[in-house]
Amino acid sequence: DAGVIQSPRHEVTEMGQEVTLRCKPISGHNSLFWYRQTMMRGLELLIYFNNNVPIDDSGMPEDRFSAKMPNASFSTLKIQPSEPRDSAVYFCASSLWGESQPQHFGDGTRLSIL
Amino acid sequence: GNSVTQMEGPVTLSEEAFLTINCTYTATGYPSLFWYVKYPGEGLQLLLKATKADDKGSNKGFEATYRKETTSFHLEKGSVQVSDSAVYFCALSDYPGNTPLVFGKGTRLSVIA
């Protein structure tokens, strides 16, 4: 079975440009999570969805960040405009809803903002 | 709020050595506890989990016991192999339901032959 698929794997762009990260969760999973990993702060939750509805976006750093889940098989994380401090590895994860269901992670997108 | 503290790395061990990676947590409720592992070039993978006090999670020779009295979930392996070289993350999620994970900073383990 295919796991969580993220694209692109790597993104290098200049400051001020719009960046869109994509995620395809595992089929049948109804929870989706976006995390960001940095050297300083480690792995942190940005936002998560249950049944395509955003539940908690308190981790989204500022208005430049937005996330959508238009259907059960696709989510995007957008940064506009991007800044050098947004450089990080962004992970998407999905799971079934339920007690202690494990989250399955994608390989991540390594984002570099010059 | 919830938080996870794990020992800082990197940790370097010889093959067949005993491994312990310490993890302690702070939680307002009764969390589920996890160890995730990231091998070079791969995504994060669940290694093991425990959902209640005194539960022992185990997988691939690794073990961790949920200790409520000490709020700990230390990872152990009796004899490490070169293939265990990876970054290990301790994490928790609130009970019940499937809430987001709160991660420790990660511990890089290098095993040399």
Convert the pLDDT of each residue in B72-94 to its tens digit: 999 999 999 999 999 999 999 88
Smallest CA–CA separation between A98 and chain B, in Å? 5
Q: Report yes or no: A90 and A76 within 8 Å, Cβ to Cβ.
A: no
Of A21-30, A85-94, B93-102, minimum mean pLDDT range? B93-102
pLDDT over 80 (residue B102): yes
Q: What pLDDT score was predicted for residue A61?
A: 86
Residue A109's contacts (CB-CB under 8 Å, 6 or more residues apart) are: A6, A7, A8, A9, A10, A11, A21, A89, A90, A91
| Res B62: pLDDT | 98
3-state SS assignment for residue A13: strand
Among A6, A34, A43, the strongest candidate for a mutation testing the B interface, having the largest count of B CBs within 10 A, is: A43
Residue B36, pLDDT score: 96
Question: Which one has a higher pLDDT value, A46 or B95?
Answer: A46
pLDDT per position as a tens digit, A36-88 = 999 888 899 999 999 999 999 989 988 999 999 999 999 999 999 999 999 99
Give the nearest partner residue to A42 out of B32, B51, B105, using CB atoms. Answer: B105
The pLDDT confidence band at residue B61, using thresholds 50, 70 and 90, is very high
Taking a contact as any Cβ pair under 8 Å apart, which residues of chain A between 28 and 87 contact chain B?
31, 33, 35, 42-45, 48, 56
Report the 10 Å Cβ neighbour count for A38: 13
Rg of chain B on CA atoms, in Å = 13
